[in-house]
Amino acid sequence: MRLSAYFLPTLKENPNEAQIVSHRLMLRAGMVRQTSAGIYAWLPLGFRVLKKIEQIVREEQNAAGAQELLMPTIQPAELWKESGRYDDYGKEMLRIRDRHEREMLFGPTNEEMITDIFRSAVKSYRDLPRNLYHIQWKFRDEIRPRFGVMRGREFLMKDAYSFDLDADGARRSYQKMFLAYLRTFARLGMKAIPMQADTGPIGGDLSHEFIILAETGESGVFCDKEWLDLDVLASAPGFDDDLTPFFEKYTNIYAATDEKHDPATSPLKPEELVSARGIEVGHIFYFGTKYSAPLGAVVAGPNGEQITVEMGSYGIGVSRLVGAIIEASHDDAGIIWPDEVAPFKVGLINLKTGDADCDRACDELYRDLQAAGVEVLYDDRNERAGAKFADMDLIGLPWQLTVGPRGLKNGVVEMKRRATGEREELPRDAAFSKLTAA
RNA sequence: CGGAGCGUAGCGCAGUCUGGUAGCGCAUCUGCUUUGGGAGCAGAGGGUCCCGAGUUCGAAUCUCGGCGCUCCGACCA
């Protein structure tokens, strides 16, 4: 993409409305624009990141055996009356009436709807287990939206729902999602720690929150320092293996939110304990028949008996993750995207547009990198060097490739790694092979 | 929902106390000069001063009502 043609309204100054760093940087980097409190429009750069995260989440869900579908944002109130949550959910639920005065709502979650879909289609134990998920916008009318996209009212969430014949099966489904979550967050370049959690209004007796460590996180967390060195992707079993040893290993390493942590009863010596801050980005629940019973999600068992299915639900805050990743990965100059979610891999900076040599070298690099499948944002604007460097640091692409008249005279271009600030001058072809290999 | 603050050009702000018809920096546009870390000079455009009602010869400024946004607290992917 040529920056001269890209819709990227960056800001030099901090908008007054944004206080925390991820919100400020998202506005300054031209990723989002607020349209009302807690509701955001995603501009092209932000949208690319959102889609990258979504795709990683999707790949891991699919690998774990979950199947993607898509349910609507608007739901009929009747389903929620059946489960009893229409009255329980309170003002957080946005209620709507259509032109026929039917009661509708903008879905804050989809347990009722997925259970309805399931019960109408599945009648036999032979069709279990199933895990269905979608990635869809939700609305919760928060009392006080804040922190930009991290506590928006409208937000993009991946929510999966498992259906099993019995508690053992449900536990297996839960463990698969547990593994998928650890893999997902590791692939996003984040350290996410599962913590025993309250089950909240959804209910149930087995639940974990996944919390990303970030200095500016909203809740305090305590954990075994062993967490900091764990490499999930290296040690993870396959989804079809027996997951119990893995699950037990990871749930036995100490981790607790500050509400649950009690220094008096902590099993860890002070030197083993890490105190940090974190952001909740995922939450998984096993809740048995809480919805299948009232909604009548029942299948015939091997002996013809009626079995109420065991369910769990598994959420990941996709739009929240955009903010959370920035909270965990930025510096004074701007965002530092982990490679896997970066909106572009390389920012190509033409230091002197209009100069025949610079233009030719940049045009060729741009063309060749794209042909090699590398996502490039090419700054071909007629701006000063300083402005280009500042914008490139702000939007945080992993690699910056700078082409200027001075370097070209010596046959070199400059490559900078955004995360470390390391720069290297090297011949054009060497830079090209590094970027296509990395 | 309780407490606090803000609303003036795309962004950041001054002007409000003490009423006289709107200004600064950045951004934008034009020209010239510049060009390796947010350039210089000259010129230009851009405003329902959040909305409504009132007071007044006259309201960004005073009064009343409303709306929006932010922050702190109780709640949450």
3-state secondary structure of A352: coil
Predicted pLDDT at A183: 97
Based on the domain organization, do A77 and A202 belong to the same domain?
A: yes
Nucleotides of B under 7 A from a protein CB: 1-2, 6, 11-13, 25-27, 34-39, 68-77
Predicted pLDDT at A198: 66
Which domain CATH number covers A234? 3.30.930.10
Based on the domain organization, do A163 and A129 belong to the same domain?
A: yes
Based on the domain organization, do A315 and A354 belong to the same domain?
A: no
Round and report the angstrom distance from CA (A364) to C1' (B75): 55
Predicted pLDDT at A205: 57
Based on the domain organization, do A277 and A361 belong to the same domain?
A: no
The residue written with tokens 């040529």 in the block is: A2
Indicate the residue among A277, A303, A335 that finishes a domain.
Answer: A335
Backbone angles phi and psi of A64, in degrees to 5: -80, 0
Number of C-beta neighbours around residue A1 at 10 A: 18
Predicted pLDDT at A204: 52
Based on the domain organization, do A306 and A394 belong to the same domain?
A: no
Round and report the angstrom distance from CA (A88) to C1' (B76): 15
Predicted pLDDT at A258: 80
Nearest to A365 by CA among A345, A351, A349, A381: A349
Which domain CATH number covers A400? 3.40.50.800
Tokens, residue A436: 């296509």
What is d(CA A345, CA A357) in angstroms, rounded to the nearest whole number? 24
With contact defined as beta carbons under 8 Å apart, do A337 and A49 qualify? yes
Cis before residue A245, ω within 30 degrees of 0? no
Q: What range does the domain containing A373 cover?
A: 344-437
Based on the domain organization, do A136 and A271 belong to the same domain?
A: yes
Predicted pLDDT at A324: 95
Instruction: Tell me the DSSP string of A193-260.
Output: EEEE---GGG--SEEEEEEEE-TT-SEEEEEEGGGGG--HHHHPPPTTS--HHHHHHHHHS-EEETTT
Number of domains making up chain A: 2
What is d(CA A114, CA A83) in angstroms, rounded to the nearest whole number? 12
Round and report the angstrom distance from CA (A12) to C1' (B23): 22
Round and report the angstrom distance from CA (A270) to C1' (B73): 31
DSSP A289: T
Based on the domain organization, do A64 and A81 belong to the same domain?
A: yes
Based on the domain organization, do A129 and A267 belong to the same domain?
A: yes
Predicted pLDDT at A199: 59
Q: Residue A151, CA: closest nucleotide via C1'?
A: B76
With contact defined as beta carbons under 8 Å apart, do A346 and A399 qualify? yes
Round and report the angstrom distance from CA (A224) to C1' (B72): 32
Q: What is the ipTM of this complex?
A: 0.92
Indicate the residue among A287, A315, A335 that finishes a domain.
Answer: A335
Tokens, residue A385: 């060097």
Based on the domain organization, do A108 and A212 belong to the same domain?
A: yes
Based on the domain organization, do A349 and A331 belong to the same domain?
A: no
What is d(CA A324, CA A190) in angstroms, rounded to the nearest whole number? 9
Based on the domain organization, do A163 and A267 belong to the same domain?
A: yes
Cis before residue A129, ω within 30 degrees of 0? yes
3-state secondary structure of A176: helix
Q: Residue A210, CA: closest nucleotide via C1'?
A: B77
Amino acid present at A267: P
Using alpha carbons only, what angle is made at residue A178 by residues A176 and A184, rounded to the nearest 5 degrees?
100
What is d(CA A357, CA A415) in angstroms, rounded to the nearest whole number? 18
Nearest to A214 by CA among A420, A16, A14, A22: A22
The pLDDT averaged over each successive group of 10 residues in chain A (438 residues) is 94 88 94 92 96 98 98 95 90 90 94 97 97 96 89 95 96 96 96 79 71 85 90 93 94 85 81 89 93 96 96 96 95 96 98 94 97 97 95 97 96 97 97 94
Task: Tell me the Ramachandran region of residue A148: left when phi exceeds 0, alpha when psi lies from -120 to 50, beta otherwise.
Answer: left
With contact defined as beta carbons under 8 Å apart, do A380 and A2 qualify? yes
Predicted pLDDT at A201: 52
Where does residue A255 rank: exposed (0-12), middle (13-18), buried (19+ CB within 10 A)? buried
Q: Residue A390, CA: closest nucleotide via C1'?
A: B38
Q: For chain A, state the CA radius of gyration.
A: 24
Q: Residue A34, CA: closest nucleotide via C1'?
A: B69
Round and report the angstrom distance from CA (A427) to C1' (B76): 52
Indicate the residue among A335, A354, A372 that finishes a domain.
Answer: A335
Q: Residue A334, CA: closest nucleotide via C1'?
A: B38
Q: Is beta strand A399-403 parallel, antiparallel or unpaired with respect to A346-350?
A: parallel
Amino acid present at A217: G
What is d(CA A140, CA A73) in angstroms, rounded to the nearest whole number? 12
CA-CA distances (angstroms) from residue A202 to A100, A286, A317? 31, 10, 16
Using alpha carbons only, what angle is made at residue A109 by residues A319 and A69, rounded to the nearest 5 degrees?
80
Instruction: Determine the distance from the C-alpha atom of residue A233 to the mean position of all C-alpha atoms in its chain, rounded to a whole number.
Output: 17
Nearest to A361 by CA among A402, A422, A326, A331: A402
Predicted pLDDT at A200: 56
Tokens, residue A56: 């990683």
Based on the domain organization, do A327 and A413 belong to the same domain?
A: no
